[in-house]
Amino acid sequence: MKRIFNIYNKLVVAAAVMCGTLMSSCSDYLTIIPPSVITEEHYWQTKDDVNGILATAYLKLFGTDAVSKAIIWGELRADNLTFPANNTKDIKYIVEANILDENPYCNWSIYYSAIQTANLVIERAPMVVDRDPDFTEGDLEVVLGEMYALRALAHFYLVRTFRDIPMARVAVLDDYEMPEYPQVHPLQALNEIMADLEKAQGLVMKSGNYSTDAENCGRITENAVLAIKADVNLWRAAFATYYEGESELALAENIQKYYDDCVQDCQTILDNMDRLYEENKGGKGDKTKYAYNLLQNQGEAEDLQDRKKSTVYDDIFGTKNSRESIFEFQVQGDNATNGSFRGIASMYGTEGKTGTLVVPATFASKNYEVDDLRAYSFTNVKSLTSGSTSSGTSSDEKNDIIVAKYTAKTSPAKDYRKSDEFDANWIVYRQTDVMLMMAEAMVARASAGTEDFNKAYDIVNAINTRSRMDTTAIKKPLSQSAFQSREGALELILKERLLELTFEGKRWYDLVRKALREKSTNNIKFVADKLESQASVVKSKMSTIDALFFPIHYDELRFNDKLVQNPAYEREDESVELN
């Protein structure tokens, strides 16, 4: 049996935190329970049974397969990642837009497995209240809230990647019993996802109410639910814009509401984070000095310039579970030795060596200003001067720029995590992500006015400024004049999301959302420039919105007759039959 990470081993303290009584697990490690053996005869008898299967649902989304796909689906096709010289063909084919339905990265089964486990908890956990007096109605509410949210998050990954997906909402014990769900319109999927999140919001724990940072960041709390809701509403607005006039689900009047709801949920998160910060600081926070109470790089400007050190990086990606964190999957290095939870390590590498993916040679110098500390923290570049990029890598592939975000323990990129001690958490949402979602929604909505544009500028500027070596003397500060138009503001917000959130599974999704909003792929085709000589071929393959989404895996089509392949990948002269 695999061993699970410590924070998820301690799920039994959830109700104890609520009632003020500390309880402990009856075993050192809960085990990941295969759904095929989760029968009423063996499980669903005690509180520990529920918590063990709850942990299993979380861990399916942080297994090697799930995180690898979160990175491939959310980053690889964009402009910030590519394949190394010693590449795998499956990765190369995706970058070159030569995606066949046999490609293993088109297999969505791990996400539906997580959904299935959540469905089991939602359906079976209520019966445990009558069987175990230690499992109270309060405990049940928290568990159900987390599972509704996790089910929503897993479906959300799928709809952003494949667009037309089945919604799995019935618990079964075996894959062979899985109903042949039909695909639904992406707006219908997002509506159902939002319904789950609305249920979850009133059930999960309030943010900050757990006893440790690892629990507050590692379990789905109110802020995590609100962050997913905000993200979902950005996509609802984008799809509604794209399908307006073509689907009864895409009503023009709803687009404004989606953006308004996104802004409101983001503001609630920021208010909650401010409150928690003030409580932890004893009321000594000073937002007039540091906007939005963001972490700041510590040290003299001259020292920051010489060393290129970002203490913000160290807090967020080195130490982990920073006060800017909202939801991140927890991992302990000693448990990584079993090789079951190594999605980040396999994609980005360890010990400063090339992983499955690398950074295009000109990415950092093309996008970051020379005084932006993020360039030297998120990649292993040593210099951005004169348009050149130097990696200074010790890798066998001298020309490869590696992803240092997550893999490096400290900034600038050095002291890398070792293969047998890889303890980086995978961050799903953090404060700056929420701030930038809020800025995007504010300026994208039809009612956007001067106040919205100015507020969006303040948000983006706060994030950009805190990342510079000398925050008082920035050579190329963010242009406020560019925020006086919707198009200019959206471009700079998208750019800041690239600079801040690159390699976190966000970039390709951001570009697809933009393409949907613009009803065109013209402004996304530039991602092919990283391929140089092959760029024109890839751009031609990206001529339709359909081509921005992945094909459904061939096996899924064989086993579910109700699935229809994405038109961009339909096979000619072939029929799909179940052997």
CA–CA dist 386, 516 (Å, integer): 36
Q: What is the DSSP string of 211-250?
A: SSHHHHHHS--HHHHHHHHHHHHHHHHHHHHHHTTT-TT-
| Alpha helix ranges (H) inside 177-221 | 186-201, 213-218
Question: Whole-angstrom Cα distance, residue 150 to residue 297?
Answer: 33
pLDDT tens, position by position, 202-225: 999 999 999 999 999 999 999 999
CB 420 within 8 A of CB 252: no
What H or E segment, with its residue span, contains residue 276?
helix 252-280
What confidence score (pLDDT) does residue 29 get?
A: 26
DSSP single-letter state for residue 87: -
pLDDT at 172: 80
Q: Mapping DSSP to helix (H, G, I), strand (E, B) and coil, where does residue 411 land?
A: coil
pLDDT of residue 101: 96
Which run of H or E residues covers position 541?
helix 535-541
Tell me the C-alpha distance between 579 and 570, whole Å. Answer: 20
Nearest alpha-carbon partner for 478 in 498, 496, 505: 496
pLDDT score recorded for residue 85? 83
Which stretches in the chain have pLDDT values below 50? 1-5, 12-32, 336, 338, 386-388, 393-397, 573-579
> What is the DSSP track for 372-409?
BHHHHHHB---B-GGG--B----SSSTTPBPB-TTTEE
Give the contacts of 3 (CB within 8 A, at least 6 positions apart): 29, 31, 335, 338
Q: What confidence score (pLDDT) does residue 550 get?
A: 98
Which runs of consecutive H residues, i.e. helices, occur in 20-63? 47-60
Do 83 and 91 form a contact (C-beta atoms < 8 A)? Answer: yes
CA 213 from centroid of its chain's CA atoms: 19
What is the CATH class of 1-61+108-204? mainly alpha
Closest by CA position to 46, among listed 121, 147, 130, 128: 128
Do the Cβ atoms of 205 and 16 come closer than 8 Å? no
| Max Cα distance, the chain (Å) | 70
Backbone φ and ψ for 346, nearest 5 degrees, come out as -70, -35
Residue 469: alpha-carbon gap to chain centroid: 27
CA–CA dist 90, 50 (Å, integer): 38
The residues, any chain, with a CB within 8 Å of residue 16's CB and separated by 6 or more, are 22, 23
At 281-299, the pLDDT tens digits run 766 656 777 899 999 999 9
Residue-level pLDDT at 1: 24
Which residues are CB-neighbours of 206 under 8 A, at least 6 positions away? 221, 222
Pairing relationship of beta strands 408-410 and 414-416 according to DSSP bridges: antiparallel
Res 4: pLDDT: 37
pTM given for the model = 0.92
Nearest to 561 by CA among 184, 188, 183: 183
Strand-pair partners of 429: 327
Q: Residue 49 to residues 39, 128, 215: CA-CA distances in angstroms?
A: 11, 9, 19
Please report where in the chains the tokens 């600081």 appear, as a residue. Answer: 281
